[in-house]
Amino acid sequence: MIKEFFRSIYVVAYREILRFIRERSRLISAFLMPIMFLVVFGAGFNRLIGEISPGVDFIQFMFPGILAMTVVLGSLFSALSIVWDREFGFLKELLIAPLSRTGIILGKAVGGALTASIRGLILLIFAPLIGINITPILVLKLIPMILLISITLSGVGFVIASRMRSQQGFQGVMNFVFFPIIFLSGVFFPLNSTPQIIQTLSKFNPMTYGVNALRQIFFNNINVINPNDKNVQPIGIEIFGHITTIWENIAILATIGIILMITATWMFSKEE
């Protein structure tokens, strides 16, 4: 039983990675939107806004969010493979094969997380151009965080894909879901400076905690900032007057990810 479970994860994950390697257009297209936002918003507002936190200007502040957006974009649309497989009949072959259904959904999550993480890590090439120093230690810290963000947000896509029957329908719903997730996560602005309704909604957005954890990894020397200083925007999420630490962000994101994956697995197990 355990052997079948892990075999299911390996087989499905390997297939997802193989499809990603063969479809190079997916890799190229994944960078178009993040780079566009980085160039347009960064070039347009960097001088106007100036420093967000001590030693961190607007474009540097935005880069971890753009990195998260690249990963999330790949993660959400990795669930498209479920709809594609269902539409063309391959999903039925998977379901009747001697594979664990839980293993199938986890395999798709692992495969999608790995491909999305590759996109995110390639984006780090642009970091030195905006004054962010990339070191091997920083990359080692980023890899598990990127994987966690990817797996958690892929759960959102899998929950939606479990009830979709066409690629067009899935893409329409995901376009509706993607932009609120992005704009309510603080990719482009500090959430603590937004109206209270935005701050409240952002706390229910799993990507919010991923974006802030990435910022805290990038700018670990300014994790602790005096919240009473109105001229400085703290890097973190304020919950009941407390600014979350990197480990608290990770714990919240992991908890949401587990809930989403359990829900997706349960919904997928009812597939006939």
The whole-number pLDDT of residue 93 equals 65
Helix, strand and coil in the chain, % to nearest 5: 75, 5, 20
Tell how many helices (H) and how many strands (E) occur in the chain: 11, 4
The whole-number pLDDT of residue 48 equals 56
CA 255 to each of CA 91, 125, 160, 206, 243: distance values in angstroms, whole numbers, following the listed order: 29, 31, 19, 10, 18
CB 157 within 8 A of CB 109: no
Phi, psi of 132 (to 5 degrees): -100, 120
Going by the DSSP 8-state scheme, the letter that residue 187 receives in this structure is S
The whole-number pLDDT of residue 253 equals 92
How many Å is the maximal CA-CA distance in the chain?
A: 61
The whole-number pLDDT of residue 223 equals 42
The whole-number pLDDT of residue 195 equals 82
For the stretch 93-101, contacts whose Cβ atoms lie closer than 8 Å and that sit 24 or more positions apart, written own/partner, are: 94/12, 95/271, 98/4, 99/4, 99/7, 99/8, 99/11, 99/12, 100/1, 100/4, 100/5, 100/8, 101/265, 101/268, 101/269, 101/271
The set of residues, in sequence order, having a beta carbon less than 8 Å from that of 215 and lying 6+ positions away, is: 61, 64, 65, 235
Distance of CA 1 to the CA centre of its chain: 31
The whole-number pLDDT of residue 254 equals 92
The whole-number pLDDT of residue 134 equals 83
Q: What is the pLDDT along the chain (272 residues), one digit of tens a residue?
A: 677 677 777 777 877 777 777 766 666 666 676 777 777 766 666 665 655 665 666 777 888 888 888 888 877 777 777 777 776 666 666 666 666 667 777 888 888 788 888 888 888 887 887 778 888 888 888 889 998 998 888 888 888 877 777 777 777 787 788 888 888 888 887 777 778 888 888 888 889 999 989 988 888 744 444 444 445 555 667 777 778 888 889 999 999 989 988 888 887 766 55
Which residues partner with 238 through β-bridges? 243
The whole-number pLDDT of residue 183 equals 83
Buried/exposed 241-251: b ≥16 CB within 10 Å, e otherwise? eebbebebbbe
| Angstrom distance (rounded) from CA 15 to CA 252 | 30
| Angstrom distance (rounded) from CA 250 to CA 214 | 10
